[in-house]
């Protein structure tokens, strides 16, 4: 499949702080997974920004554990891989929802930065629909100061924003359905509103090396998806074996409450 050399993708990721675009699945498979999401929405309600989607739905689990994806993550952080979180990020058509300039790791409480985020498009992510923008090399500059702002249109939980970013350095990362980008936890990134007439649907996935731990508490959970976990810093998530099992849905609600408390804590 085109653009699917894990070694080259890893090289770009470490050099620039991101790699994009990377073809993971074909357009027809992307339409299939979008249909499964939208079918689940008719039963569950909005799945936008709901944590641990892979514990209640099989589609995001399949995408997050796709063999090519795990090969790429292995090239980036090694053969032992924990799946920390999977969530859909959805901008509805012609809406003001946006994502401010930020770094993922700022509020997560993780002990190390051996972490990779994948953003997999299930609908076109274009400049018009609000694709991601990245600042190349920003992952090598350490943590930037963030301001917490009240902004009802900001997708981020706390509206966290890095002020004064040089917009002239920003690179657009458009994705066709089935393509993904991979970015480092310290890479500055953002996205504009969706001014298209289609939903902008992405699946956001976080992966960790097992030596990484949660520093805010000892309640966090993850799922071992490749190799071994010699550290056992996390409780074990339960992968979905069907869609929207009531017990799994209740467990997901509890895990999401914990997530919100974790990233909202100083």
4-14 pLDDT per residue, tens:
899 999 999 99
In this prediction, residue 157 has a pLDDT band, given cuts at 50, 70 and 90, of low
pLDDT digits (tens, 9 = 90+) for 223-232: 999 999 999 9
Q: Which domains does the chain have, with CATH numbers?
A: 6-264 (2.60.120.620)
The pTM of this model reads 0.94
User: Taking 80 as the threshold, does the pLDDT of residue 220 lie above it?
Assistant: yes
Within 13 A of 72's CA, how many CA atoms are on the CB side?
Answer: 29
* CB neighbour list of residue 73: distance below 8 Å, 6 or more residues apart: 81, 116, 118, 182, 207, 226
Whether the predicted pLDDT of 168 surpasses 50: yes
Is 92's pLDDT higher than 50? yes
Q: Residue 265: which pLDDT band, with cuts at 50, 70 and 90?
A: low
Mean pLDDT over 30-41 rounds to: 98
Lowest mean pLDDT among 82-86, 135-139, 144-148: 144-148
**42 Cβ partners below 8 Å, 6+ apart?**
none
Res 158: pLDDT = 67
Q: Which residues contact 233 (CB under 8 A, 6 or more apart)?
A: 210, 211, 212, 213, 214, 220
Q: How much is the average pLDDT of 216-238?
A: 98
Residue 60 CA to residue 117 CA, distance in Å, equals 14
Rounded to an integer, the average pLDDT of 165-191 is 95
Cα 72 from Cα 120, distance rounded (Å): 13
147 vs 218: which has the higher pLDDT? 218
Instruction: Give the sign of the dihedral formed by CA 46, CA 260, CA 16, CA 163.
Output: positive
Identify the pLDDT of residue 3: 53
**What is the per-residue pLDDT for 150?**
74
In this structure, the strands spanning 200-208 and 115-121 are antiparallel
């Amino acid at each position: 499949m085109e653009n699917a050399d894990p070694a080259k993708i890893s090289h770009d990721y470490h050099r620039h702080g991101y790699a994009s675009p990377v073809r993971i699945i074909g357009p027809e498979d992307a339409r299939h997974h979008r249909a499964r999401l939208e079918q689940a929405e008719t039963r569950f309600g909005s799945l936008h920004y709901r944590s641990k989607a892979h514990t209640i739905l099989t589609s995001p689990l399949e995408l997050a554990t796709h063999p090519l994806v795990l090969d790429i993550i292995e090239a980036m952080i090694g053969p032992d891989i924990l799946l920390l979180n999977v969530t859909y990020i959805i901008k509805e058509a012609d809406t003001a929802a946006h994502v401010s300039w930020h770094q993922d790791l700022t509020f997560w409480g993780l002990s190390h930065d051996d972490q990779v985020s994948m953003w997999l498009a299930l609908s076109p992510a274009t400049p018009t629909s609000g694709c991601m923008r990245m600042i190349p090399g920003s992952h090598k500059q350490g943590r930037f100061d963030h301001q917490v702002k009240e902004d009802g249109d900001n997708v981020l939980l706390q509206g966290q924003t890095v002020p004064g970013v040089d917009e002239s350095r920003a690179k657009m990362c458009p994705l066709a359905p089935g393509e993904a980008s991979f970015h480092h936890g310290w890479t500055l990134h953002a996205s504009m509103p969706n001014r298209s007439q289609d939903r902008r649907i992405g699946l956001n996935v976080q992966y960790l090396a097992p030596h990484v731990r949660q520093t805010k508490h000892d309640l966090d959970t993850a799922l071992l998806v490749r190799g071994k976990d010699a550290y056992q810093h996390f409780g074990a998530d339960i992968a979905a074996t069907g869609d929207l099992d009531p017990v799994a849905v209740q467990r997901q609600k509890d895990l999401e409450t914990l997530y919100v408390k974790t990233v909202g804590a100083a």
